């Protein structure tokens, strides 16, 4: 597998100029970037966890035919994403162990294990209700 980059509209390149990069080189660069930005990611997560408010949600993704989950945590200024292979929320206790603020989440049971104050919100349902009200008026 490889990545094909075609340069169009850049000075000195024509429509037929292309660069082929082997998948192994792409993977190596992604690993290198992950190492470089690990400290940045941990700093963002630390800011979120040390705050007074976290909004959390998770969503299913599909990578090469296999389902996995991406969890998002935000304090409305910083955002951190967390990848897991399953929807099990066992990692939440460890990840958010130092958080003492209010956790805003949906009604997914994994969040119930958290000992901090919580606010439950069904955003999708609220949106549908609001849409119905707007359409109905």
Q: Give 59-91 pLDDT, tens digit per residue.
A: 999 988 999 999 999 999 999 999 999 999 999
Q: Which token pair is 27?
A: 């993977």
Domain that holds residue 96: 51-137
Q: Do 106 and 42 belong to one domain? A: no
3-state secondary structure of 14: coil
Tally Cβ neighbours within 10 Å of residue 104.
Answer: 19
Q: Do 59 and 42 belong to one domain? A: no
Q: Do 127 and 78 belong to one domain? A: yes
Q: Are 92 and 49 in contact (CB under 8 A)?
A: no
Predicted model pTM: 0.73
Ranges of the chain whose pLDDT falls below 70? 1-19, 122-137
Q: Report the domain count for the chain.
A: 2
Q: Do 42 and 55 belong to one domain? A: no
3-state secondary structure of 43: helix
Q: Do 45 and 91 belong to one domain? A: no
**What whole-number distance in Å separates Cα of residue 102 and Cα of residue 118?**
5
């Amino acid at each position: 597998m490889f990545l094909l980059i075609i340069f169009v509209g850049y000075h000195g390149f024509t429509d037929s100029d292309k660069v082929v990069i082997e998948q192994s080189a792409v993977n190596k660069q992604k690993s290198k970037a992950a190492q470089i930005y690990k400290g940045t990611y941990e700093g963002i997560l630390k800011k979120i966890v040390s705050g007074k408010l976290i909004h959390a949600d998770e969503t299913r993704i599909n990578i090469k035919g296999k389902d996995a989950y991406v969890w998002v945590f935000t304090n409305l200024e910083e955002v951190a994403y967390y990848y897991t292979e399953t929807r099990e929320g066992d990692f939440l206790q460890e990840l958010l162990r130092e958080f003492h603020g209010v956790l805003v989440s949906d009604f997914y049971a994994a969040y119930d294990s958290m000992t901090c104050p919580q606010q439950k919100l069904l955003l999708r349902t609220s949106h549908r209700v609001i849409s119905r009200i707007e359409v109905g008026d």
